[in-house]
Structure 1
Amino acid sequence: MGYRMRATGRLAAWLAMAGAGLIASQPVAAGTLMAIRSVGEGLGQGIYTPVVEEKIRAVADRLGDAVRQASATGVTIAFGTDAGVFAHGRNAGEFALLTDAGMSSREAVASATIIAAQVLEMGKEIGRLAPGYSADIIALEGNPLDNAALLENVDWVMVRGRVIE
């Protein structure tokens, strides 16, 4: 039995409005990609029933396409999730999934900084390195604007002026 994934609810409405030129963009959280990847790690281990496993595989195969379509239609993609299905510290895996879905590394990094701040209605307080903004700083090898997956290997984090290794 085959499953087709289609945009429903708010995403379908946003896609329709953006396609008709009624709106420039609307936010949609993209953290679902990492969540479905983590859920998929349990496939074949007896955690899920066969029917649920089939549905997980069907969704996993189509989710990148949904993000690609939403982005191409002008829907703003914001990095982040409230999903509790993967271990803390794995969120950076979302960057590679977003770029695999067609976003540039620069777009993926913006989705986690400037865009996420705007979606949270905190764009005048966080989301960029600028005077008067609150920001944590990270250090890593390479330029994440060229390869966002580099953000999975952070050397250190500075929070309120203190380096935390």
Structure 2
Amino acid sequence: MKEQADNHCFKKLPVCFDFLRLAISQNISELPQWVWCNGYDNNNTENDNIMIQLMRFILTDFCANCSRPESSLTNERTPYVEYVIPIFKYFSATTKLMSFLWCEKGLVSNKLLAVCMPDYATKKLLDGIGTTIKDSLERVLIESSGEVDDKHTIEDTIKLIECGAKCLKEEMN
């Protein structure tokens, strides 16, 4: 927690930290123009450029969320779809490390386990699945719950643990 409070990860990337520090000091109406006109330095490392590009997408989306008319929440997944999924999309687009499938998707690892362990395989659908590009393994499992329904949250947590175990067993096989 101390490392997080000290921005430990960002301080490993001082160019990115400076870009973000300068970006958040901008007036919100000028932020999109600023993030897309700054940070293009020939001395930046490839890592710096990737992270700055990721910040550009996230800050532009933040600006759009702040500028649009206020809407009433219609579903427990509305904030999730509006604020969380775009970050994963931008991460995928900038780093090219993962591919994401959204909305009630089944695990490939579950299908593979069903071949050798039919009694173990029960089909569970997840809100999102992140698969690594390099080795095609399911590495990120995403499930959204509302903050009011404790029973639903507990069931979703159990589902994530069960699906995570299936992914690990498939990787072991």
Compare relative contact order (CA 8 Å, sep 6+) and give the higher one, 1 or 2: 1
TM over 0.5: no
Taking structure 1 as the reference length, the TM-score comes to 0.30
Taking structure 2 as the reference length, the TM-score comes to 0.29
Compare the two structures and name the one with the higher helix fraction.
Answer: 2
